[in-house]
Chains A and B, each alone.
Chain A
Amino acid sequence: MEFFTNDLLAARRTMAFSLGFHIIFASIGMVMPFFMAASHYLYLKTNNIVYLKLTKMWSKGVAILFATGAVTGTVLSFELGLLWPEFMKHAGPIFGMPFSWEGTAFFLEAIAIGIFFYGWNRIPKWVHWFSGLMVGVSGLLSGIFIVAANSWMNTPSGFDWVNGKAINIDPVAAMFNKHWFQQALHMSLAAFVSVGFAVGGIHAYFYLKNKKTVLNAKALKIALTFGAIAAILQPLSGHLSAQKVAENQPLKLAAMEAHFKTEKRASLIIGGIPNLEKQEVEHAIKIPGALSFLAFNSFDAEVVGLDQFPKDEWPPVLIVHVAFQIMVALGSMLILVGGIFLFYSYRKNWKPLPVWLLRTLIAFIPAGFIALEAGWTVTEVGRQPWIIYNIMKTKDAVSTVPGLGFHFLFFVILYIIVGSACVYLLYRLIKSYQGDINVD
């Protein structure tokens, strides 16, 4: 059975699954503390007890999700070596710098979380508030460091590769590689969008269900204000990121766009299914010149196509293209919904949000996270067959330990159990805060 015999595939699946799982919790750990701090701030300023209740409810949610994020993150730090020892042997000394800083940031986050969650009525209230904010700040920094390490795999720098060995290692140059800023910005905003819309949507659901309680209205407003603003900023960061990809990973851009032939005035392909044999995209909308413009700020620029590269170096074009389309499509819809939300929430003569908008928000609960996962699929699958772009192939990095299929299966089962328990627990938590009963 291929499932158990193909160790490369099993390792890639395990990594994809572990990262895909962890990133949900990591994003929440990065973003929710800011919502929490906003609500906590409003409580300290207005003394409105609803904000206190909201802060406490959210902080319990964060505790559950952060713990899950922390343990799955621990798994990932080991998995780098468990699955990709050859990669780590060469890459560790080069791109380890962001990890060593991430260690500090993560440590501070864990300390801040302990102080915040258990520090109610124990320390001065503004120190307590600050510890909550620090959870978010250090979480965000952790995320940025990790993404910088990932972007090094896309645009490796800070070393010379001579005869299969890295020499002249410069960890600082490796950390501040060509793509780090754009990728970190894009991911940070994506986290705000995903979590903002998910949390906002969930509260929209409880708002409609439970006779429009104030708690849910306030929760919804805080979460979606963050989410909507991030959604509106996201295309700018996406554009910056795409230009870096065009410059440094033309093959990835070609796969994202399913752009088979090198041409000037290249058209932007929207939707469609790439047909690898005919080398064209079926059922797609094409906007002439738009791709050239987006990639190089000029309608006449030449965009390199897949035809310029040997076929065995192509990433899986279908997956990359479709994932990219999903990300862009959902991202665009989120901008629209976010814009409408901001309009209705912050207009002059305030009225409650219309029911159709609340229903739309409920429908968009998973949208941000789907876009986030699709985006990571573009980055990671789009880099294949390389683990370090143009330096080391993924197949040369995989562990020699046999039976990685079992390893994959094992973690899938474990994470499904943990994930379901999390959802169940959060549902009970939010539900318990719905009635008039004063929990806590």
Chain B
Amino acid sequence: MWISIIELISFVALVFYIIFGGADYGAGILEFFKPNKIRKIDSEIEHIITKAIGPVWEANHIWLILIIVILFNGFPELFVTLTTFLHLPLVAILLGIVLRGVAFTFRHYDIFEGRPKTLYTRIFSFSSLWTSLWLGITAGAVILGRIDPTAKNVYDLYIHPWFNIFCLSVGIFVASLFTYLASSFLIGETDNQLIKNYFRQRSLIANIAVILTGGAVFFTAQYEGFFLMSKFFYNSFSIAMMILATIFWSCQEIYRKRLTFLMRRVLVVGQVTFILLGFCFIQAPTVISTTTGPLTMTNTAAPEATLIQLVVALVVGLFLIIPSLIYLFWIFKFRQDDSKI
């Protein structure tokens, strides 16, 4: 029972990290792919992005820490498998997280315009893309199942599990997903019609990218001899999730002119959550696939005393965190008009 509760909380934390943290990364990716010709609204876009993620980005990224803590406290085998065999992708993620966080903050708090600011923007936007790609590569390696604890040489142990076209395509898929989230959320952050249209157009492009790269994930899996497609089609839950995701997506596209921003956000969040659920149902209950068998939360769980303590900490923690988080988002995301009066 304790394990099921933790599984649920971990999944929720993962979804929150992908939606909120992912939207932050996506905002950086949007800046990275910003065409030069829109110089007119350039600084305005930067300003909107800073204003949109400034108050919430620290909190958005703590979901990742929560997941890490759950893993190393309750399921050390999972944590250690990741940190050992995916050492390099994780270091790449950390590099991105450090550079991105400091560049974003430095850009906001450096009161002087000029060259350092351009540099911070470049670092922020590039490391957003970089981190998203590596997060996806890591996720790809976790489900691909090439982690081989019995391997003998350095390549097979530490590089082979993630160095392939499938993992890369998951990386690109994740980056597209993040960009889609960001551009959809950002539409509601401004009243400037020009910029609204810009984000709308980006959101459409990103949406197409999500569909195409999502397809590519299945094809590259096939290419790497990993039969994700058949796993998917034999899993009725996953199919149901994909259908729901498609319905949410269609509603959004059909009613795009008439939707309030809140409704649009709900639809986008729903769509992404269903995609994630779909993937999770293919993989469940396995967390990490390895050549020596699947690692699940059940077969790697710490003794019960630890799990009980973890559940207590998480439940009490969430009771404190969720209301504060709602307050935070309420101030900055749903009361924006007050400040303009």
Contact = CB atoms under 8 A, between A and B. Distances in A.
Contact of B62 (A89, A110, A119): A110
A268 B59 CA distance: 48
B66 A401 contact: no
Interface residues of B, number: 65
A425 to B, nearest CB: 6
Contacts of B70: 100
Contacts of A107: 59, 62, 65-66, 317, 321
Interface stretch (B22-30, B37-45, B103-111, B273-281): B103-111
Contact of A96 (B94, B310, B316, B327): B310
B328 interface: yes
A217 interface: no
The 5 closest A-B pairs by CB, nearest first: A96-B73, A81-B83, A93-B302, A104-B317, A92-B76
A108 B320 contact: yes
B313 A101 contact: yes
Nearest to B54: A118
A334 interface: no
Interface stretch (A63-71, A220-228, A305-313): A63-71
B80 A432 contact: no
A343 B99 CA distance: 44
Given A67-B104, A170-B305, A428-B112, 17 more contacts: A72-B98, A77-B72, A80-B72, A92-B73, A96-B310, A97-B313, A99-B73, A100-B310, A110-B59, A111-B324, A114-B56, A115-B55, A169-B302, A399-B84, A402-B154, A425-B109, A428-B111
B73 A97 contact: yes
Interface string A410-427: 100010001001100100
Nearest to A95: B73
B332 A85 contact: no
Interface in B72-108: 72-74, 76-77, 79-80, 82-84, 87, 90-91, 94-95, 97-102, 104-106, 108
Contact of A425 (B69, B95, B110, B305): B110
B225 interface: no
Contacts of A418: 98-99, 102
Nearest to A415: B98
Contact of A93 (B66, B306, B332, B335): B306
Contacts of B317: 100-101, 103-104, 107
A172 B308 CA distance: 11
A60 interface: yes
Contact of B91 (A64, A410, A439): A410
A117 interface: yes
A407 interface: yes
A75 B97 contact: yes
Contacts of B310: 96-97, 100
A99 B71 CA distance: 11
A285 interface: no
B110 A74 contact: no
Q: Is the interface of B mostly helix, strand, loop or mixed?
A: helix
A432 B154 contact: no
A278 interface: no
Interface size class of A (residues with CB under 8 A): 35 or more
B209 interface: no
A171 interface: yes
A137 to B, nearest CB: 12
Contacts of B339: 121-122
Nearest to B63: A107
30 contacts: A67-B102, A68-B101, A71-B100, A74-B97, A77-B68, A78-B68, A82-B83, A85-B84, A92-B76, A93-B306, A96-B73, A96-B302, A99-B72, A100-B309, A100-B313, A100-B314, A103-B62, A103-B65, A114-B58, A114-B59, A114-B328, A114-B332, A115-B328, A122-B338, A169-B303, A407-B91, A410-B95, A428-B112, A429-B111, A432-B111
A422 B109 CA distance: 11
Contact of A110 (B58, B105, B303, B320): B58
B158 interface: yes
Given A99-B69, A401-B158, A104 B102 contact: no
Nearest to B300: A89
A68 B58 contact: no
B306 A171 contact: yes
Contacts of A73: 65
Nearest to A421: B106
Nearest to A439: B111
A75 B306 contact: no
B75 to A, nearest CB: 8
A46 to B, nearest CB: 26
Contacts of A428: 110-112
A42 to B, nearest CB: 23
B318 to A, nearest CB: 8
Nearest to B316: A104
B85 to A, nearest CB: 9
Nearest to B112: A428
